[in-house]
Amino acid sequence: MKNLVIAMMALGFVATSQATDLKSVYEQALANDPQLAAELASANANAQTQAVAGQYVMPTLTLDADIASTAVEAGSNPEVDVATTTYTLTLAQTLIAPESWFTYAAASATSDAAELEARKAEQSLVVRVSEAYFNVLRANAGLASAKATEAAVKRQLEQTQQRFKVGLIAITDVHEAQAQYDSATVDLISAETMLDIAYESLAVLTGERYDRIQPLKETIPLVGPTPADRTHWEQKALGQNLDVLISEKTQTSAQRNHKSKISSHLPSVNLVGRHVISETDETGTDVETTSTYVGVNVSMPLFAGGATWAGQKQAYYQRQAAEQGYEATRRGTSLSVRNLFRTLEADVARVKARKQAMTSAKSAMEATQTGYEVGTRNIVEVLTAQRAVFGAQFNYAAARYDYVINVLKFRQAVGELSAADIDEVSNWLQN
């Protein structure tokens, strides 16, 4: 019994000897996570879509230079070489061009979506870092439980062997204890591996490797969504969730692009100004001419090999896909919020129940140990009771980690997650 108490104390010691906190890990991930960098670069690239499309509606200024040599032969006259250098400066401004204006409007919606994508990438990092961090704590709790179990089972095996030597128990009890010890050894190896994997997963985000991280305090705020109105949170999510907002912008862009393609057969009107300087050198005689042109150009496409009609059909189906995708995103977000709402409420009750289960498991283990000493319980029941104690401790720790992660996921689902939540969760950690 004394050895079991020592093992349980060791379990607690492992959990309180951590060092690096969540905020530090997040800041390192913010600077080093390749996925975040890639997502932000993609969002920044998409943000330029409106500026690129501006060429269709904003003034354009073009300088052309042309140098040519022409050989002219007329009748019996000798061949004459004429060298011409021409510089043309053209200024154009769209006046009426429905296709161009709708294209620009579609690009504007795409750029708006890009800003939301950048925010989504930052929110995603908060969740990914937190999950990786608490997965390390979860694996560490599993290792601590496995170590405590292995130590307790080993001690129990030694006591069983001694009792067998003096004839107090049968050899079958020794075999049972040995089997339990072998199983505990395998579990310990697996737990060590899981912890290594958890640390490696965290290092992928930060580029740094850690030996220890800070655990949760024993007491953390355990509250469900406030107000406790699922409909309230569902409606808030439909107005704030970044996936919904991005999907809405995508739908808007597709609708405007469809209108652009429908307008592609309409005429366009452009204001054009052109200034031309031409120098001609003919048989040693230089002639320079200058001309200025200001006019209105009207252009109307008649036939483009069927591309105009095909483009309209393509844009129509793209619009349909975007509209259905938007509806699917709204429904998926509603479902996610409803599920997370229920999960958080259950998490609060689950953590409290797991804490009570630890006390009950310990009492059951003590009673079983006493029964074994007086001969009313066997070694298998004792070892099972000991495992139940450490299992209850692990389940309690895991339930608390699940609660923290689900809090962050819920805030992400309703569109309220930010880097400030990292600070809040960091305050729940032991210093």
H-assigned helices in 374-429: 379-413, 420-426
Check pLDDT > 90 for residue 160: no
Q: What are phi and psi of 274, to 5 degrees?
A: -140, 130
C-alpha 55/C-alpha 60 separation (Å) is 7
Q: Please, are residues 26 and 36 in contact by the beta-carbon 8 Å criterion?
A: no
**In the chain, what percentage of residues exceed pLDDT 90?**
74
Reported as a single tens digit per residue, the pLDDT across 23-32 is 999 999 999 9
pLDDT at residue number 78: 66
Q: Which residue's entry shows tokens 């929110």?
A: 123
Question: What pLDDT does 2 receive?
Answer: 42
Residue 130's Cα: distance from chain center in Å? 12
d(CA 132, CA 137): 9
pLDDT, averaged across the chain? 90
Q: Is it the case that residue 416 has pLDDT exceeding 90?
A: yes
Give 265's DSSP letter. Answer: G
Q: Which residues pair with 279 in a beta bridge?
A: 85, 288
Mean pLDDT, range 239-252, rounded to an integer: 98
SS3 label, residue 281: strand
Does residue 431 fall inside a structural domain? no
pLDDT for residue 288: 87
Predicted local distance difference test score (pLDDT) of residue 74: 62
How far is residue 363's CA from residue 369's CA, in Å, rounded to a whole number? Answer: 10
Q: What mean pLDDT is predicted for residues 91-119?
A: 96
Task: Give the per-residue pLDDT at 110.
Answer: 96
Distances (CA, A) of 29 to 23, 162, 258, 389: 10, 54, 40, 36
Q: How far apart are CA 260 and CA 98, in angstroms?
A: 7
How remote is the C-alpha of 169 from its chain's centroid? 58
CB 357 within 8 A of CB 430: no
In the numeric block, the tokens 């879509």 are attached to 49
Residue 34 placed within a domain: yes
Backbone angles phi, psi at 336, to 5 degrees: -60, -45
Q: Specify the range with the lowest mean pLDDT, choosing from 3-7, 127-131, 171-175.
A: 3-7
Contact 142, 193 (CB under 8 A): no
Q: Is the pLDDT of residue 18 over 80?
A: no
Domain tally for the chain?
1
The answer to whether residues 192 and 143 touch, using CB atoms and an 8 Å cutoff, is yes
Residue 356 C-alpha from the chain's centroid: 36
Structure tokens at 230: 């699922």
Asked whether residue 175 carries a pLDDT value surpassing 70, the answer given is: yes
Token pair listed for 281 = 């050198």
Compare 80 and 398 and report the one with higher pLDDT: 398
Got the DSSP string for 44-71?
A: HHHHTHHHHHGGGTS-EEEEEEEEEEEE
Judged against a pLDDT cut of 70, whether residue 250 lies above it is answered with yes
Q: Is the pLDDT of residue 115 over 60?
A: yes
CATH of the domain at 174: 1.20.1600.10
Tell me: pLDDT of 395 over 90: yes
Contacting residues for 11 by C-beta, under 8 A, at least 6 apart: 144, 145, 147, 148, 390, 393
Helix (H, G, I), strand (E, B) or coil at 276: strand
pLDDT of residue 9: 43
Binning pLDDT at 50, 70 and 90, where does residue 157 land?
confident
User: pLDDT per residue over 292-347, tens digit each?
Assistant: 999 999 999 988 889 999 999 999 999 999 999 999 999 999 999 999 999 999 99
Domain of 229, in residue numbers: 2-426
Q: What is the pTM of this model?
A: 0.85
234 vs 149, higher pLDDT: 234
- Which residue type occupies 363? S
